[in-house]
Amino acid sequence: DQQVKQNSPSLSVQEGRISILNCDYTNSMFDYFLWYKKYPAEGPTFLISISSIKDKNEDGRFTVFLNKSAKHLSLHIVPSQPGDSAVYFCAASYLTGTASKLTFGTGTRLQVTL
């Protein structure tokens, strides 16, 4: 049962335009959401996150929006740059008794073209 879904396996955007990556989740217990970026042959690196008590978080060119009622979040990249070409993973977490575990989506491959 996929609790975190990224329905678009790939996305192609022109340089300078907005990239919008989407993520849906089913588990109401999730209270923190993160986006990771992954280049080939490297591990994922943390990009930006949002708590469930907020609906928006910005960090430079990156903005994450959360719609709790729809169980949907999105990552906006403006303006998109060629260096943004990577696989983006959405992840969700909640704190259990032992550790905060992440549940990842299947990833969206973003290609930013010149």
Which parts of this chain interact with another protein (CB under 8 A)? 4, 6, 9, 31-32, 34, 36, 41-46, 48-49, 51, 89, 91, 93, 95, 98-107
Pairing of strands 10-14, 108-113: parallel
Measured distance CA(31)–CA(58) in Å, rounded: 18
Measured distance CA(82)–CA(13) in Å, rounded: 9
Judged by beta carbon, residue 18 or residue 95, the one nearer another protein is: 95
- HSE toward the beta carbon, residue 13, CA cutoff 13 A: 24
What the block records as the tokens of 111 is 């290609």
Instruction: Please state the closest distance from residue 49 (CB atom) to another protein, in A.
Output: 4
Strand, coil or helix: 83: helix
Instruction: Please state the closest distance from residue 33 (CB atom) to another protein, in A.
Output: 10
Radius of gyration of the chain (CA): 14
Judged by beta carbon, residue 22 or residue 49, the one nearer another protein is: 49
Judged by beta carbon, residue 98 or residue 114, the one nearer another protein is: 98
Judged by beta carbon, residue 15 or residue 39, the one nearer another protein is: 39
Instruction: Please state the closest distance from residue 97 (CB atom) to another protein, in A.
Output: 9
